[in-house]
Structure 1
Amino acid sequence: MIRFGLRLAVASGREAAARLAVIAAAVAVGVGMLLAVVAAVHATGAQNARYAWLNTGAGSTADENGPLWWLLRYDRYDGRGIVQVDVAAVGAGAPVPRGLPRLPGPGEYYASPALAALLASEPADQLADRYAGRQVGTIGDEALPSPGSLVVVVGHAPDELAGRPEAVRVRSIMATDPADCADCFAGNGPDAVMMLLAIVAAAILFPLLMLTAGATRLSAARREQRFAAMRLVGATPRQISAISAVESTTSAVLGTILGFGLYLAVRPALSEISFTFERFHPADVVLEPLDVVVVALGVPLLAALAARVALRRVHISPLGVVRRVTPRPPRAWRLIPLLLGVAELAYFIGRRPATSDGQILAYISGMLLMMVGLVMAGPWLTMVGSRLLALRSGRPATLIAARRLADDPRAGFRAVSGLMLALFVTSVATGVITTIVAERGPGAGGPAQATVLAQSFWDEPVPVDRFPRAGLSADLRAIPGVRGVVVVHENPDFGPNGADLPGLVPCADLADRPTLGRCEPGARVASVFDGLVDFRDARAGRAAGTWPAAELSPDDVARLPVLSVVVETNGSVTALEQARTRLATEFPLVRPANTAREWESDFTSTLVQWQRLADVVIVASLAIAGCSLAVSVAGGIGERKRPFSLLRLAGVQMAVLRRVVVLESAVPLLVVAALATGGGFLAAHLFLTSQFEYSLVAPEPAYYVIVAAGLLASLAIIASTLPLLRRVTGPETARNG
């Protein structure tokens, strides 16, 4: 049976060879993508492990008698984050972080290769002057989450760090993976990363599975008839199962081999894709031996099982193949899960759950209900659409296509179901991301969010007798692009039962600084945010508003500790970075200065990266959907070549048959794309209204261009199958049928 099955698979004519090639190609693409996602999961874990040492000070590593002082801070340069670790050895036996040959001493520092290159290429007064002393080496790759990570380890004397509020003494360097550490703060959260990869896998692999399934159905009717004939001449169900399994397994094995080759071809590019928003080290993008074994054996096995299920009618009865009846039409009850999902999301508007777990349960369950509902409602909606098309049709091609879709809407919907889920997920993501970025990202809160730099002393306000007001202000004002400097003092009445704003500023200092706000008429002192432009209220744009008056006099304010130094600039990189460097040299061991936009930038940058990933998913899923439709069209033409041939003999023109084929494929594609996109935006609007009280903001035109381009590409792929119609519908087909 095995030899006979192999002969049928590879040596029974051009049709069999073409079917083998198509199925193998579909399996190869699916296997290649699956291996890429698995390798990305492993790379994510390896990258997370490289973050472990930065969590030193958390958990059991902290020890008040430890031999090493440790202070972790986050700095910036031109929008890029810099991780700075300040260390000081108390005595012998101080632990050495991974990637370093030794601890840096006072006046020494180690920099990552990317930061070392940046230090060498940029002016010293914009970056290098922040690190006193000299660079004594570079940090090894084993301590860097990404080849482009900006990390610096700076050495100090013990007494320099001993008085810092955020510095801790440690006995050992953290080695626990952040995914297994409840107290860790650096690294990729395992749930978020795995959810990200799950979305990518679901949005790309599901359409690929549909493509593979569609390819295995090529010439299904002809194969069923052939196997039924074998049953009639004495073949047993077990022999038929063996033959069909050999046919399917042959193509699956070939496709799996090609899939591994495809993965090896794209593996170098995987390290450049920012799944976690940082590039992977190439050595981390690997497959485990178990992965190879599971995929190499599992895919052919699943193909064999799929073949058995596909030919279940032959197992019931060889005559069952010719007893074909029109399947029962889907019913309207299929809309119930979709409506329940919409109702659940709408219910929580104004009733947002108080806890994070409650919110996750409420929103995720609603989204899942809508996804399940779309899949279940798809055949019914396809049937309704086809019937409406038939009622309004005025041409034979439209009527034939509409009636065929109405007879079997499940088959028409099946090829585009993967596309529908991918478009729904990406439409939700696009709607949510676009709205949040519009509310909190670049452009939100006015230009002051990006041009006003604030050096805060929130943890330890500076006494006025130790604050170099005159010299520092003069140096900052001398920087090209700096428009003004304002010193904010601590508000002694700030607290739960006192003033709402933590800082105080004499109104005279704001008189010529309209960008930073204005005082009430007649006021001498204003209550303000510590940074004047507050990252926690960026959406409100308070910098352009009126600050409430305070009861203290300017002389009283001048005697209060300094809470922050605010530098207004023209927004240029030179002005911002020179001012930041000057503040860093004056206050070397405090939290670095930031703009309000930079406080939000990590969040909004992550959203933008998700948007880019969503765009990739849209393009990939649309292309895969087009291939699925192409396979479906080719299979449908092959199955109906005799009826089409008879129509041609009856005088139907080839152009009419082409329109029938195009309409049968294009109508479900376009209907599903519109339904999934609209449903995704509706879900996004309900979520945003409930969770943030935001209204959905329309995506940028680029989103619609991407979707339209993908749909056009899918239609072009469908059109590429039309030449097959003329070749298989000649008179000999009707004569030999």
Structure 2
Amino acid sequence: MIGLGLRLAVSGGREAIVRLAVLAAAVAVGTGMLLVTLAGVNAVHAQNLRYSWLNSGVTSAATGPEAADPALWQIREDFFRGDPIARVDVAISGPDGPVLPGRTALPAPGEYVVSPALDRLLRTHPADQLRDRFPGRQTGVLGHDALPSPDSLIAVVGGTREQVSRIPGATEVTRMVTVSPDDCRDCRAGIGADGIVLTLSVVAAALLFPLLIFIGTATRLSAARREQRFAAMRLIGATPRQITQFAAAESAAAAAAGALAGLAVFFAARVGLARVPFTGDPFFLDDLSLSLLDWLVVTLGVPLAAALAARIALRRVRISPLGVARRVTPRPPRAWRVLPLLLALAELGYLVGHRPLTRNGQVLGYLGGIFGVMIGLMIAGSWLTMAGSRLLARRAQRPATLIAGRRLADNPRAGFRAVSGLMLALFVTSTATGVITTIVAERSGSPGAAGHDLVSVLMLPEFEGTPPGEIRLPSGLPAHLIRVNPDGGPETQHLPGLITCADLATIPDAGACPPGAQVAEVWPGLSGNPAEDPAWPASTWTPAQLATLKVINVVVPTDGTPAAIEHARTVLNTTFPYGRLPATDADYRHDWTRQLPQFQRLADVAIISSLVIAGCSLAVSVTGGLTERRRPFAMLRLTGVRLSELRRVVVLESAVPLLAVSVVAVGTGFLAAHFFLRSQMEYELHPPGTSYYVIVVAGLLAAIGVIASTMPLLNRMTGPAAARNE
């Protein structure tokens, strides 16, 4: 039976070959995308695990053999030209101490080892901008096992126990942490793998749904002709089981070929994917690996899904061989189809003010809500199409409009099926754009003009300050002191820092004092003052009194060039080696500003891929619809209907459901984004930028273009020969 089914699959001439090729292509794209997504999830976890050793001094979750000689350990964050550097200061106490991954010993006093990416920066930039921050000599380069990413900037600096003990927070370490930061509550180094995996899962769902629709559409290509053929076989004695085997063999053969091609798609995309910094840093190529279970689930599951789609598509033939001939108008969809969509939106709305406390609860809540909305849109789509078709029929002024409206009203499910992929693409576009636009608007605004040009070093302990006698200002830099405000505090209206107005006047774009004031209240980094009110609040303290107060920050104005900023940072680094390392206000916001483009890239991938897949699905569906209706259209032409009227019928049958579901998809996408932002971040949805409207309009115009591109087929397929009975 399988052999006969394969022969029947290719015996239909060019039409059958095209159907199999389209189905194989759909499965290839689906398999490749799913494998890429699974590999991305595995890479995120592998990358995060290699951050574990950096947390050795901050968590009690260390595992592995314990060393006899403990080492002092403290990790701090440094920066170079916008990129973070993980600096680990260590001090050994004997030869049998803890060991870094891939090395035999920790650096001794006066030695340091760096990552390959940092080694390249040390070799290509002046010493006064970077190398002078690390005392002593470089004795090696960290290997693959100690690197989360090929671009990781890491320095392990050896010092004496007296030096490292002066760094606040330095602790004794006897073994390296090997526990993933995901499983460590007090770990400081690592990525938010759960959030990224959640994002990748949403992207996978955004791609998977249109792909499943594409596969189902390709499977149903020429379904009516195949149903007639299989029904004839039923009439001459074929059993329902044999018909099922014929259909499954045809679809499984195309799906198996597509699955093999999908492996090629995965390996072709794998190299490029490794360089995409989804987590903020690119992956190692071997991190993008797949387990045996991943391979089996995708390469076997996708062909099985295609075979199941074929079984469902031909279910009428299995029920009765006369079911194809005795076609009747199906029952119209009922209004209850909107309920699943409303329930999914209600679930997302409930999370506003009731956000789950655990990460698993958040993953289940938000991911389940998004999936529920997608499923709800698919269920409600046919009812929306029917509502639009009835409105079209009531307002019809031309024969083409009336024919299109009546045909859609007779079978709204078929009309919606053609545009369902594009509807999901628009939902994904609206949700992703709404979330990204709002996050960018809320978190990437500049808090002050001086924030990018001032390099500051915050004295420790934070907001308690250092006695002025212990502060040695760096030579050659215009450094200014910000002192602790005794009147400030979390329960007062006063800012935590004080600076003389004479110093403030010499710092460009850092704000000003009110007229007549001698001392101003400021934030320690001189950032955060509203641009529309450049005057800082005045203080009652005098400059003489100010000189006796503890210092909480040292700020150095620069001309804003990278060379000047890094030189000032290096000088402050060597002058104040035991506190928080120098940074600009932009550096403190750097982690978030680095993540925003990555999430935007993920959204762009989902949007563009969804639109492309949806466009392919629409083209296949419209072409298949023309093939199925060649005889009715040919009969209409024989009765005098002009070809231009038939073209209007085809365009209206696709455009009406397209516009009907597009409005709902866009509105639902923004509503889902609003619920997520209010629940997770307490943000109000910001209107999208021009690029969103360009994408939506371009997507709709492309869809209309796809429909128009099938019009030349109409003339060839509706000639007099197509009107004959078969």
For 2:453, the equivalent position in structure 1 comes to 451
Consecutive unaligned residues in structure 2, runs of 5 or more: none
When structure 1 is superposed on structure 2, of 456-465 and 666-675 the one drifting more is 666-675
For 1:607, the equivalent position in structure 2 comes to 596
For 1:43, the equivalent position in structure 2 comes to 43
Partners of 1:623 and 1:714 within 8 A in 2: no
For 2:87, the equivalent position in structure 1 comes to 84
Distance 2:594 2:160 in 1: 36
For 2:331, the equivalent position in structure 1 comes to 328
Per-residue CA deviation, residues 621-661 of structure 1 (Å, 9 max, x unaligned), is: 01100111111112111111111111222233333323322
Give identity over the alignment, percent: 56
Question: What pairs with 1:350-361 in structure 2 (closer than 5 Å)?
Answer: none
> Residue 87 of structure 1 aligns to which amino acid in structure 2?
V
Cα displacement (A) at 1:4: 1.2
For 1:482, the equivalent position in structure 2 comes to none
Distance 1:144 1:66 in 2: 25
For 2:610, the equivalent position in structure 1 comes to 621
Cα displacement (A) at 1:552: 3.8
Partners of 1:23 and 1:212 within 8 A in 2: yes
Distance 1:342 1:311 in 2: 34
- Equivalent residue in structure 2 for 1:467, among 468, 471, 474: 471
Partners of 1:67 and 1:170 within 8 A in 2: yes
Report the secondary structure of 2:557's partner residue.
strand
Distance 1:486 1:578 in 2: 16
- Equivalent residue in structure 2 for 1:563, among 545, 552, 567: 552
Cα displacement (A) at 1:240: 1.5
For 2:270, the equivalent position in structure 1 comes to 267
Question: What pairs with 1:568-579 in structure 2 (closer than 5 Å)?
Answer: 568-579=557-568
Partners of 1:428 and 1:683 within 8 A in 2: yes
For 1:218, the equivalent position in structure 2 comes to 221
Partners of 1:244 and 1:307 within 8 A in 2: yes
Partners of 1:487 and 1:505 within 8 A in 2: yes
Cα displacement (A) at 1:360: 8.1
Report the secondary structure of 2:477's partner residue.
helix
For 1:130, the equivalent position in structure 2 comes to 133
When structure 1 is superposed on structure 2, of 201-210 and 680-689 the one drifting more is 680-689
Cα displacement (A) at 1:337: 4.7
> Residue 14 of structure 1 aligns to which amino acid in structure 2?
R
Partners of 2:115 and 2:152 within 8 A in 1: yes
Distance 2:431 2:270 in 1: 30
For 2:569, the equivalent position in structure 1 comes to 580
- Length, aligned pairs only: 720
- Equivalent residue in structure 1 for 2:241, among 222, 238, 243: 238
When structure 1 is superposed on structure 2, of 70-79 and 652-661 the one drifting more is 652-661
Report the secondary structure of 2:139's partner residue.
strand
Partners of 1:626 and 1:715 within 8 A in 2: no
CA RMSD of aligned residues (A): 2.9
| Change in CA separation of 1:146 and 1:333 when aligned onto 2, cut-off 3 Å | same
Partners of 1:28 and 1:257 within 8 A in 2: yes
Distance 1:545 1:347 in 2: 42
For 2:5, the equivalent position in structure 1 comes to 5
Distance 1:629 1:34 in 2: 21
Q: Does 1:487 align with 2:491?
A: no
Partners of 2:69 and 2:98 within 8 A in 1: no
> Residue 446 of structure 1 aligns to which amino acid in structure 2?
G
For 2:258, the equivalent position in structure 1 comes to 255
Cα displacement (A) at 1:546: 4.2
| Change in CA separation of 1:78 and 1:402 when aligned onto 2, cut-off 3 Å | farther
Q: Does 1:699 align with 2:688?
A: yes
Per-residue CA deviation, residues 83-137 of structure 1 (Å, 9 max, x unaligned), is: 1111121112111211435322222222222111122222222222212222222
Partners of 2:97 and 2:105 within 8 A in 1: no
Partners of 1:444 and 1:541 within 8 A in 2: no
- Equivalent residue in structure 1 for 2:120, among 107, 117, 120: 117
Cα displacement (A) at 1:694: 4.7
Q: TM-score, normalised by structure 2?
A: 0.91
Per-residue CA deviation, residues 610-631 of structure 1 (Å, 9 max, x unaligned), is: 1222122111101100111111
| Change in CA separation of 1:88 and 1:612 when aligned onto 2, cut-off 3 Å | same
Distance 2:414 2:21 in 1: 23
Per-residue CA deviation, residues 677-703 of structure 1 (Å, 9 max, x unaligned), is: 233224434554676665433323223
For 1:25, the equivalent position in structure 2 comes to 25
Distance 1:361 1:285 in 2: 25
Report the secondary structure of 1:71's partner residue.
strand
For 1:636, the equivalent position in structure 2 comes to 625
Distance 2:250 2:692 in 1: 42
Q: Does 1:389 align with 2:378?
A: no
Question: What pairs with 1:253-332 in structure 2 (closer than 5 Å)?
Answer: 253-332=256-335
- Equivalent residue in structure 2 for 1:527, among 521, 524, 547: 521
Cα displacement (A) at 1:444: 3.2
Report the secondary structure of 1:86's partner residue.
strand
Distance 1:624 1:202 in 2: 13
Per-residue CA deviation, residues 200-257 of structure 1 (Å, 9 max, x unaligned), is: 1011111011100111111112222222211111111222222222112111111112
- Equivalent residue in structure 2 for 1:722, among 711, 715, 719: 711
Consecutive unaligned residues in structure 1, runs of 5 or more: 478-484
Cα displacement (A) at 1:268: 1.7
For 1:507, the equivalent position in structure 2 comes to 501
Report the secondary structure of 2:521's partner residue.
strand
Q: Does 1:398 align with 2:401?
A: yes
Report the secondary structure of 1:487's partner residue.
strand
| Change in CA separation of 1:95 and 1:344 when aligned onto 2, cut-off 3 Å | closer
Distance 2:4 2:500 in 1: 94
Partners of 2:69 and 2:94 within 8 A in 1: no
Cα displacement (A) at 1:397: 2.9
Cα displacement (A) at 1:338: 4.4
Distance 2:10 2:253 in 1: 9
Partners of 2:389 and 2:409 within 8 A in 1: yes
| Change in CA separation of 1:87 and 1:422 when aligned onto 2, cut-off 3 Å | farther
Distance 1:664 1:103 in 2: 72
Distance 1:685 1:102 in 2: 52
Distance 1:690 1:308 in 2: 42
Per-residue CA deviation, residues 150-190 of structure 1 (Å, 9 max, x unaligned), is: 11221212211012212111001111222333332322333
| Change in CA separation of 1:27 and 1:576 when aligned onto 2, cut-off 3 Å | same
- Equivalent residue in structure 1 for 2:654, among 652, 659, 665: 665
Distance 2:21 2:367 in 1: 40
> Residue 18 of structure 1 aligns to which amino acid in structure 2?
V
Cα displacement (A) at 1:414: 2.6
Partners of 2:27 and 2:262 within 8 A in 1: yes
Partners of 2:168 and 2:460 within 8 A in 1: no
Distance 2:78 2:377 in 1: 46
For 1:190, the equivalent position in structure 2 comes to 193
| Change in CA separation of 1:553 and 1:279 when aligned onto 2, cut-off 3 Å | same
Distance 1:138 1:714 in 2: 54
